């Protein structure tokens, strides 16, 4: 049997695996009244976000009116002001901390997930639950020792400190998620490939990778979201050089008094990457948030 | 392709580990080690340090006065008025946020489980609050919504009052008048989508034939919900409650931003109190002791959470 045959066989299986099982015979329809209720609730929940985006396109004078003036003229001034007021370094720090930590998480989590699913070590469930248990320890209890260690090491106000902490914060989520994806690699095909003497690289590339790729994408998005939004470590461990976007947000309020439209522009801007990532990963969001427990 | 046309019955992974030599055992362990060692070093060692610091009298404003005091910091933690308030606030905050978001999330999930015009769009819009950066969300609620002069809440009330001929609406300072509800509502807004997603996944995993059978037997919608859907959803509700509790107990951003724990200490929760002890009072020993108590409390909650996840996990593995 050639490698091509090994690779062709999974194709059909994957389609079956990937077919979503939640379409249980076409779910019942909502009556018009309940459709109205559903949309009312949706709009109520979305209203603050809509208000934030709308205000960000207004002049300060139109933003702070009572009663509100949603139809005031639209302007990009607030965004221009933000960039001229140097939001850029903060965004870059955020991008660096989240992207580097996500890469580090994947580099650690993918091999670990492999050793927890495809070639499982002994007592692999115990290892899984060890990883998970670390997620349940409150970060605030670690803040003091982390602060003291980081201070002693001269690593305060350094993006790499955040990279390390965010990696530790997201590693359990990534291990659990990647394991749940790798567990879907069909065992019989793995075994067949091995019987046929396919090398490790071939097996990884032809059999494991096609199943693991969507999982990898979803896992990185989840890790990115959590690192990008993190505030407590960022505000307490950075000062001027390594501060991230959330630190910019709180700092800019206390320094300059209140500019509501510009605040909304800043809030929109810093939330945008996560909104995009989250919408893109919608289907996988719940799997990540429940640590792979719910599909 | 004979091996594929008659695939061997998939055995659970545990059974696939044959008696193997020490070397091949270690070969299996190698890919796991970097992640394991990293996690132990970065997450476990700080807690050992916390435990040690918690037995010291240590205030950096009094240099040279660092000495071992045994359990007296814990005595302080359990008798301090502020900390007791913080514990109570944490319980109130967490319980109300989690309960309200689960109930709202369940309602939304049940609506979104049915087909209706624009269901996909509605789902996308509904998860937006969860994706807005928590600090941004807190600032948005504080300044754009609760602000007494030009916040959306008073602004809308004012517009409604004027519409009905009154001169002016009420001017309520929401955050000072209702500090805890103000924080709770902003957090409920962020966490409801999380609950909705988990419960929606639960509803959609419900086998259709059972619902069909219930309908055939003439069960009312209420009865079907009470006796079929709710028992099925139970483990998903538990999961949502427990994960939500784990995250909401740790709330720092919202308290820091919206109320700074005030007025007085009306909204100071444990994470914020520990932060104050650390970076305002500089009482490292007391902060560490409070941290240890928080960890012990979390372990109790986590035990329940892990049990729930373990039962879902076993189901998945044996499938």
Is A167–B38 a contact, with Cβ atoms under 8 angstroms apart?
Answer: yes
Q: Do residues B69 and B53 make contact, with C-beta atoms less than 8 angstroms apart?
A: no
Is B39–A232 a contact, with Cβ atoms under 8 angstroms apart?
Answer: no
- Taking the Cβ of residue A267 and every Cβ of chain B, the question of whether any pair is shorter than 8 Å is answered with yes
What distance in Å separates the CA atoms of residue A203 and residue A217, rounded to the nearest whole number? 20
Is A133–B143 a contact, with Cβ atoms under 8 angstroms apart?
Answer: no
Mean pLDDT of chain B: 84
Instruction: Tell me the per-residue pLDDT of B157-214, one tens digit each, with 9 for 90 and over.
Output: 888 888 888 777 778 888 989 999 999 999 999 999 999 999 998 888 887 777 778 8
Tell me which of A100 and B249 has the higher pLDDT.
A100
Minimal Cα–Cα distance from B165 to chain A, Å?
14
Is A142–B279 a contact, with Cβ atoms under 8 angstroms apart?
Answer: no
Nearest CA in chain A to B24: A121
Q: Find the helix packing angle between B119-131 and B179-204, rounded to 10°.
A: 140
Chain A CB contacts of B206 below 8 Å: 24
| Predicted local distance difference test score (pLDDT) of residue A257 | 63
Question: Residue B67 belongs to what H/E stretch?
Answer: strand B67-68
Question: Residue B56 belongs to what H/E stretch?
Answer: strand B56-57
- Taking the Cβ of residue A279 and every Cβ of chain B, the question of whether any pair is shorter than 8 Å is answered with yes
Nearest CA in chain A to B122: A42
| Predicted local distance difference test score (pLDDT) of residue A268 | 94
Is B35–A22 a contact, with Cβ atoms under 8 angstroms apart?
Answer: no
Is A267–B114 a contact, with Cβ atoms under 8 angstroms apart?
Answer: no
- Taking the Cβ of residue A257 and every Cβ of chain B, the question of whether any pair is shorter than 8 Å is answered with no
Size of interface A-B (CB pairs under 8 A): 352
Distances (CA, A) of A289 to B95, B195, B247: 20, 10, 11
Question: Residue B287 — pLDDT band, cuts 50, 70, 90?
Answer: confident
Between B50, B274, B309, which is nearest A293 by CB?
B309
Minimal Cα–Cα distance from B298 to chain A, Å?
6
Question: Residue B122 — pLDDT band, cuts 50, 70, 90?
Answer: very high
Q: What is the pTM of this model?
A: 0.84
Chain A CB contacts of B47 below 8 Å: 137, 141-142, 145
Chain B CB contacts of A239 below 8 Å: none
Q: Is the pLDDT at B137 greater than 70, yes or no?
A: yes
Burial class (CB in 10 A: 0-12, 13-18, 19+), B307: exposed
Is A289–B107 a contact, with Cβ atoms under 8 angstroms apart?
Answer: no
Tens-level pLDDT at each residue, chain A (295 residues): 344 444 444 444 444 444 444 444 457 788 889 999 999 999 999 999 999 999 999 888 788 777 788 888 888 888 988 888 788 999 999 999 999 999 999 999 999 998 888 888 888 888 888 888 888 788 888 888 899 889 988 889 999 999 999 999 999 989 988 988 888 888 888 888 878 877 778 878 877 888 888 888 888 988 999 999 999 999 999 988 889 999 999 887 766 667 888 899 999 999 999 999 888 878 778 877 777 777 7
| Predicted local distance difference test score (pLDDT) of residue B20 | 59
Superfamily of domain B82-318: MetI-like (1.10.3720.10)
- Taking the Cβ of residue A152 and every Cβ of chain B, the question of whether any pair is shorter than 8 Å is answered with no
| Predicted local distance difference test score (pLDDT) of residue B1 | 33
Is B130–A144 a contact, with Cβ atoms under 8 angstroms apart?
Answer: no
Question: Residue B5 — pLDDT band, cuts 50, 70, 90?
Answer: very low
| Predicted local distance difference test score (pLDDT) of residue B15 | 46
Tell me the three state secondary structure of residue A29.
Answer: strand
| Predicted local distance difference test score (pLDDT) of residue B316 | 65
| Predicted local distance difference test score (pLDDT) of residue A26 | 58
What distance in Å separates the CA atoms of residue B66 and residue B59, rounded to the nearest whole number? 7
What integer is the mean pLDDT of B306-310? 77
Complex ipTM: 0.82
| Predicted local distance difference test score (pLDDT) of residue B19 | 54
Largest CA distance in chain A: 76
What percent of chain B lies above the pLDDT cut of 90?
Answer: 30
| Predicted local distance difference test score (pLDDT) of residue B131 | 93
- Residue of B14, B131, B156, B187 best to disrupt the A interface, most CBs of A under 10 A: B131
What distance in Å separates the CA atoms of residue B149 and residue B172, rounded to the nearest whole number? 9
Question: What CATH number belongs to A76-289?
Answer: 1.10.3720.10
Q: Is the pLDDT at B25 greater than 50, yes or no?
A: yes
């Amino acid at each position: 049997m050639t490698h091509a045959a090994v690779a062709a066989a999974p194709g059909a299986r994957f389609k079956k695996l990937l077919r979503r099982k939640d379409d249980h015979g076409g779910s019942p329809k909502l009556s018009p009244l309940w459709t109205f209720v559903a949309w009312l609730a949706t709009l109520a929940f979305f209203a603050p976000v809509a208000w934030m985006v709308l205000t960000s396109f207004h002049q300060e004078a139109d933003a702070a009116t009572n009663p509100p003036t949603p139809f005031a003229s639209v302007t990009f001034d607030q965004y221009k002001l933000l960039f001229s007021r140097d939001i850029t370094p903060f965004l870059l720090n955020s991008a660096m901390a989240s992207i580097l930590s996500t890469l580090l998480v994947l580099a650690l989590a993918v091999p670990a997930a492999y050793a927890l699913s495809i070639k499982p070590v002994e007592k692999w469930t115990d290892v899984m639950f060890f990883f998970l248990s670390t997620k349940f320890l409150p970060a605030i209890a670690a803040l003091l020792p982390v602060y003291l260690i980081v201070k002693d090491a001269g690593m305060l106000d350094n993006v790499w400190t955040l990279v390390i902490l965010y990696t530790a914060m997201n590693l359990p989520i990534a291990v659990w998620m990647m394991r749940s994806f790798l567990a879907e690699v069909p065992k019989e095909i793995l075994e067949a490939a091995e019987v046929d003497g396919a090398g490790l690289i071939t097996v990884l590339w032809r059999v494991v990778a096609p199943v693991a790729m969507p999982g990898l994408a979803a896992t990185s998005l989840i890790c990115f979201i959590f690192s990008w939004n993190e505030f407590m470590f960022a505000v307490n461990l950075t000062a001027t050089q390594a501060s991230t976007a959330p630190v910019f947000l709180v700092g800019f309020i206390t320094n300059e008094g209140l500019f509501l439209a510009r605040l909304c522009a800043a809030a929109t801007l810093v939330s945008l990457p996560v909104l995009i990532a989250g919408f893109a990963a919608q289907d996988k969001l719940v799997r990540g948030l429940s640590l792979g427990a719910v599909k | 392709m004979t091996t594929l046309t008659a695939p061997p019955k998939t055995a659970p992974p545990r059974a696939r580990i044959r008696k193997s030599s020490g070397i091949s055992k270690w070969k299996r362990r190698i890919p796991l080690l970097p992640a394991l060692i990293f996690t132990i070093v970065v997450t476990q060692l700080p807690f050992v340090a916390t435990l040690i610091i918690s037995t010291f009298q240590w205030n950096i404003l009094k240099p040279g006065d660092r000495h071992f005091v045994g359990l007296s910091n814990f005595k302080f933690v359990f008798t301090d008025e502020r900390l007791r308030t913080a514990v109570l606030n944490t319980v109130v905050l967490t319980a109300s946020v989690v309960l309200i978001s689960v109930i709202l999330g369940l309602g939304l999930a049940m609506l979104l489980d049915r087909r209706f015009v624009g269901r996909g769009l509605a789902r996308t819009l509904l998860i937006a609050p969860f994706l807005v950066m928590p600090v941004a969300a807190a600032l948005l609620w504080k300044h754009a919504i609760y602000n007494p002069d030009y916040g959306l809440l008073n602004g809308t009330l004012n517009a409604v009052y004027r519409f009905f001929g009154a001169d002016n609406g009420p001017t309520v300072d929401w955050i000072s008048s209702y500090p805890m509800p103000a924080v709770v509502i902003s957090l409920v807004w962020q966490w409801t989508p999380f609950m909705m997603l988990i419960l929606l996944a639960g509803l959609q995993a419900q086998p259709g034939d059972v619902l069909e059978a219930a309908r055939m037997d003439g069960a009312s919608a209420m009865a079907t919900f009470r006796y079929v859907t709710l028992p099925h959803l139970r483990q998903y509700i538990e999961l949502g409650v427990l994960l939500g509790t784990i995250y909401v107990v740790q709330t720092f951003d919202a308290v820091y931003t919206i109320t700074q724990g005030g007025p007085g200490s009306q909204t100071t929760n444990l994470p914020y109190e520990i932060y104050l002890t650390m970076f305002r009072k500089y009482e490292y020993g007391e902060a560490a002791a409070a941290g240890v108590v928080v960890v012990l409390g979390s372990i109790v909650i986590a035990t329940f959470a892990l049990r729930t996840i373990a039962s879902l996990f076993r189901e998945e593995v044996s499938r």
